[in-house]
Amino acid sequence: MNALELARKSDAQTCYEIIEQAKAFQREQGFVQWTDDYPNLQTILDDIDDGNGYALKVDGSIAGYLCVSFDGESDYSEIRGKWSSDARYAVVHRMAFDKRFRGKGLAGVTLALVEKLCEERAVRCIRIDTDSCNERMQHILLKSGFVKCGTIMFQGSEKLAFDKVF
């Protein structure tokens, strides 16, 4: 069974190890979206403290990690292009999966679970960004019903901006 649960401080190290695996996987694919310094363990702990850190659990085991925030994203206020909606939205950052669970369609499952989480909060829009070289993530987003809206500057670099209104 798949479940999206708030991560606990006791989960932080496992979640961070998943992020580190994702960094290595990005490099294997020939690009660097996440640096050696970001995201780091403190990023995960901050997500958890803010109530935004989520663990994807598969049969009780942590298979993935992501940040889901309902507080907006200041870097999304300026977009070269246009968001599909000006309505309140959730933002997803730092979505990564344990290498043992890759290739099992969990990204799509996770995004569907994020939609359910949004519906519980009466939020009908999700925004997410990724690097132009992260073709795998772009494919996942398009397959999951997201649309490319343009580009934004996030943490000093240009990112592709996607959203989904449901």
Return per-residue pLDDT of the chain as tens, 166 residues.
999 999 999 999 999 999 999 999 999 999 999 999 999 999 999 999 999 999 999 999 999 999 999 999 999 999 999 999 999 999 999 999 999 999 999 999 999 999 999 999 999 999 999 999 999 999 999 999 999 999 999 988 999 999 999 9
Half-sphere exposure of 161 (CA within 13 A, CB side): 22
Q: What is the pTM of this model?
A: 0.96
Q: Which residue has the tokens 């990005």?
A: 26
Rounded Cα gap, residues 118 and 156, in angstroms: 28
